Amino acid sequence: MYQINENCIACGQCIAECPVGAIKEGELYSIDAKLCTDCGSCTSECAADAIEQMPESSNTGQTEELEEFQDTGVFPPSRGDLVTLYPAGFGFVNSAVDIGNNQYAVDFYATVYDYTGDGAGLVVKQPDNGLSPASSLKQPSVNQKKELRRKLNERNLTFDYGYQKIIHKAITRVPAGASYCFIDTDMAIREAVDDGAATGIHSARFNQANYFKSKKTAEGVGKNVRVCFKDHTISDGSY
């Protein structure tokens, strides 16, 4: 997508050059994000270098800044708070009840344990529960939260406070000319170059969610699909 910056001199050229009528006159000019197709015409024609490309968000419209991990600042931690868990884990708290002897019974919306060093990746369980000493119910450091966010982002995951679950973020298309992965009819993971068109095979794969920005994500989905096929039990009858 593109945005018009403060260099704009309202020359009117970008309006004339836009093939889909996405640029409209306002206080200066504005780009209608619903119409803009990222064709690049406006950037190449701007004499004042007033139009610049905006970085594509890998999120669902909720950027990391708007989706900060919650911290109510109270103890014991309250609903939604993120706490560290031993060893190398994190938990999104639903409730924490003092049961005496410095112990808390904690219900979690979700827990995430990082076993990437052992080759097992992240282990997610939702919901989850357990007993924890008061000394262990700590808010993660800034660096710990950044590392958790990074590892969730690598897998296209996020904790959604509305759903109160760890979910897959919505997939966004790569720029035209860039590569993506898809699961072929033989269940093999293959790579293709997106043409950016609103119709055609690449658009169809994206709209049907058979479209992945990384091979690792595609492999994970393919593995789950194969498990579903193997576990499917047919009903009694004649075939």
DSSP codes of every residue in 179-204? EEEEE-TTS-EEEEE----SSSHHHH
Neighbouring residues of 102: CB distance < 8 A, sequence distance ≥ 6? 133, 134, 135
- 193 forms beta bridges with 179
Separation CA 145–CA 136 (nearest Å)? 16
Q: What is the mean pLDDT of residues 168-185?
A: 84
Q: Do 85 and 91 meet the contact criterion of CB atoms below 8 Å apart?
A: yes
Establish how many alpha carbons lie within 13 A of residue 160's alpha carbon, considering only the half-sphere containing its beta carbon.
14
| pLDDT band, very low/low/confident/very high, at 33 (cuts 50, 70, 90) | low
Share of the chain above pLDDT 70, in %: 73
pLDDT for 55: 42
Tell whether the model's pLDDT for residue 174 goes beyond 60.
yes
Q: Do 137 and 83 meet the contact criterion of CB atoms below 8 Å apart?
A: yes
Q: Do 73 and 138 meet the contact criterion of CB atoms below 8 Å apart?
A: no
Tell whether the model's pLDDT for residue 158 goes beyond 80.
yes
Degrees, nearest 5: CA angle 58-64-66: 125
pLDDT for 95: 92
Q: What is the mean pLDDT of residues 145-152?
A: 87
Tell whether the model's pLDDT for residue 147 goes beyond 70.
yes
Tell whether the model's pLDDT for residue 12 goes beyond 80.
no
User: Which tokens belong to 85?
Assistant: 């868990």
Degrees, nearest 5: CA angle 148-109-167: 60
Q: Do 120 and 113 meet the contact criterion of CB atoms below 8 Å apart?
A: no
How do residues 80-101 score in pLDDT, each as one tens digit? 899 988 878 999 999 999 998 8
Separation CA 200–CA 102 (nearest Å)? 61
- Nearest Cα neighbor of 75 from 10, 32, 136 is 136
Neighbouring residues of 189: CB distance < 8 A, sequence distance ≥ 6? 181, 182, 183, 215, 218, 219, 222
User: Which tokens belong to 201?
Assistant: 């095979």
Q: What is the dihedral of CA 11, 13, 18, 19, to 10 degrees?
A: 150
Tell whether the model's pLDDT for residue 28 goes beyond 90.
no
Q: pTM for the full model? A: 0.49
pLDDT for 67: 57
pLDDT for 112: 92
Separation CA 1–CA 31 (nearest Å)? 9
How do residues 112-145 score in pLDDT, each as one tens digit? 998 877 667 788 999 999 898 888 888 888 888 8
How do residues 39-70 score in pLDDT, each as one tens digit? 767 766 666 565 655 544 333 333 333 357 87
Separation CA 94–CA 109 (nearest Å)? 6
